[in-house]
A and B are shown apart, each in its own frame.
Chain A
């Protein structure tokens, strides 16, 4: 291989493979070597599917027309709640290790591989995705590639670490309350949480059915867009998947900002934000000439998301709590047991509020196309750190990293998380669009990337 592709984007790799400048097998071997070298430090991978990857890479190399494969030879990995044929889907837990091996890959893995991508393994995550830290009591913490004494954010911690650390150019994760956007922020990479119902969740382990989304992480907006495009399409095997036609975003990326109206969220989304978060937000808002907008009752939306998460999550795990309570991460167990005890009237109230709030926020999009907000209140906390100061108040880290992400996923809005390469640690912003308008958020992200306002910084590893 004549070139080091380990910090290349997926699009660059696919172009090089299609042009015959390298092979899918050579790229795969290079990725496996980087994983072997860096994973002992970053703890991003919980399984490496080397033989499967080599076989898939050889099949890509044997394809008669690789220009028809938009992800030809691009290594990728998935949060370990995605089914991978032959492996138990552990979802960050000890309990699920006793599950039978999956008989078939998750639908999104199949769609990525159909486009030429090469699965190289499964990634660390917080237990059952009830987490914003990336720490895991069973597998050890995912470590931040920009400072290995710090958190990746969670729950898709391994996804953040693997992409931010150059182990793979693209990873897949899940986002119930912020689990794509929080690690994207702390690890300095791009992430896409599509509209609720856009990407199928078939053959992935759930957490909160009415809030769960799947989506990609990458180091470039084009990679997010290309992987998102190949994963779209209705799937009857996911009850929440919307029956909509595929709406490719990639053709819109280069259309620029002309005609787009950008707003920046104030009030709740500034309260508690660190100087770093505000500096990143204000810099990008200025570059986009954004006007201030107030998202009404965002604190109540966050509260309602919290209640629905605790109770739906508890319902999912009720039998496991009854029979295997000692096998849970104690922090997850105690949150879930508490969730099981919340009166149902209060849950219905949260769902009623959800409808009202959705209508209020959708009305804002009559006057703007995207809304900017911070992804996290702070840059990456230290591993094991229990509390941080937000607006002069000491708050627990684990539930509060998602302060700014929860009110958005609560109503399923599409968000592109973009990294601002602050020193010494990056921090992310959310570019929020109206439902089914992923292409608008991606277009703004691409313009910011072209301007140099957002980028994935390369760590010293």
Chain B
């Protein structure tokens, strides 16, 4: 998974989610997002059948 243009993504996501974004936080948020997306890619690249369902917590 290629590294996305995270600085632009973070600025857009913060504005969309109405989250504050102090320039002093940018590097740390970016580093954290990079790690989280890397973990997410590790999971997403694992092939599972279309029928595989998520693990729900909600019980009716």
List chain A positions with a Cβ less than 8 A from chain B.
209-210, 239-240, 297, 299-300, 302-304, 306-307, 310, 318, 321-322, 325, 330-331, 333-335, 337-342, 345-356, 358, 399, 411
Name the contact of A356 in the complex, choosing from B19, B30, B48, B59 (C-beta under 8 A): B48
By CB atoms of chain B within 10 A, which of A299, A307, A354 has the most?
Answer: A307
Report 25 cross-chain contacts, Cβ distance below 8 Å, ordered by A residue: A239-B58, A299-B42, A300-B43, A300-B46, A304-B39, A304-B43, A307-B36, A321-B20, A322-B19, A334-B28, A335-B32, A337-B14, A337-B25, A338-B32, A340-B13, A340-B17, A341-B17, A349-B43, A350-B40, A351-B54, A351-B55, A352-B52, A353-B46, A356-B52, A358-B55
B window 9-60: CB within 8 A of A: 9-10, 13-14, 17-22, 25, 28-30, 32-33, 35-44, 46, 48, 52-59
Contact residues on B (Cβ < 8 Å of other chain), bracket: 35 or more
Chain A nearest Cβ from B13, distance in angstroms: 4
Query: In whole angstroms, what is the CA distance A256 to B33 when docked?
Result: 48
Q: Please classify the interface of chain A as helix (H, G, I), strand (E, B), loop, or mixed, using the class held by over half of its residues.
A: helix
Query: In whole angstroms, what is the CA distance A346 to B44 when docked?
Result: 7
Q: Please classify the interface of chain B as helix (H, G, I), strand (E, B), loop, or mixed, using the class held by over half of its residues.
A: helix
B17 touches A307 (CB 8 A): no
Chain B nearest Cβ from A147, distance in angstroms: 29
Query: In whole angstroms, what is the CA distance A388 to B6 when docked?
Result: 27
List chain B positions with a Cβ less than 8 A from chain A.
9-10, 13-14, 17-22, 25, 28-30, 32-33, 35-44, 46, 48, 52-59
Name the contact of A355 in the complex, choosing from B28, B54, B58 (C-beta under 8 A): B54
By CB atoms of chain B within 10 A, which of A209, A318, A334 has the most?
Answer: A334
Chain B nearest Cβ from A399, distance in angstroms: 8
Q: Which residues of B lie under 8 Å from residue A337 when comparing CB positions?
A: 14, 19, 21, 25, 29, 32
A330 touches B28 (CB 8 A): yes
A330 touches B25 (CB 8 A): yes
B37 touches A342 (CB 8 A): yes
Chain A nearest Cβ from B48, distance in angstroms: 6
Query: In whole angstroms, what is the CA distance A239 to B59 when docked?
Result: 8
Chain A's closest residue to B42 (CB) is A303
B9 touches A341 (CB 8 A): yes
Chain B nearest Cβ from A414, distance in angstroms: 17
Name the contact of A342 in the complex, choosing from B14, B28, B33, B52 (C-beta under 8 A): B33
Name the contact of B33 in the complex, choosing from A210, A330, A338, A347 (C-beta under 8 A): A338
Q: Which residues of A lie under 8 Å from residue B21 when comparing CB positions?
A: 337
Q: Which residues of B lie under 8 Å from residue A354 when comparing CB positions?
A: 54-55
B52 touches A355 (CB 8 A): yes
Known A-B contacts A300-B42, A338-B32, A353-B48; A209 and B19 likewise in contact (beta carbons under 8 Å): no
Q: Which residues of B lie under 8 Å from residue A299 when comparing CB positions?
A: 42
Chain B nearest Cβ from A163, distance in angstroms: 30
Q: Which residues of B lie under 8 Å from residue A346 when comparing CB positions?
A: 37, 40-41, 43-44
Chain B nearest Cβ from A137, distance in angstroms: 14
Query: In whole angstroms, what is the CA distance A399 to B34 when docked?
Result: 14
Query: In whole angstroms, what is the CA distance A307 to B43 when docked?
Result: 9
Chain B's closest residue to A410 (CB) is B55
Query: In whole angstroms, what is the CA distance A307 to B39 when docked?
Result: 7
Query: In whole angstroms, what is the CA distance A216 to B43 when docked?
Result: 32
Chain A nearest Cβ from B56, distance in angstroms: 8
Query: In whole angstroms, what is the CA distance A331 to B33 when docked?
Result: 13
Query: In whole angstroms, what is the CA distance A80 to B37 when docked?
Result: 31
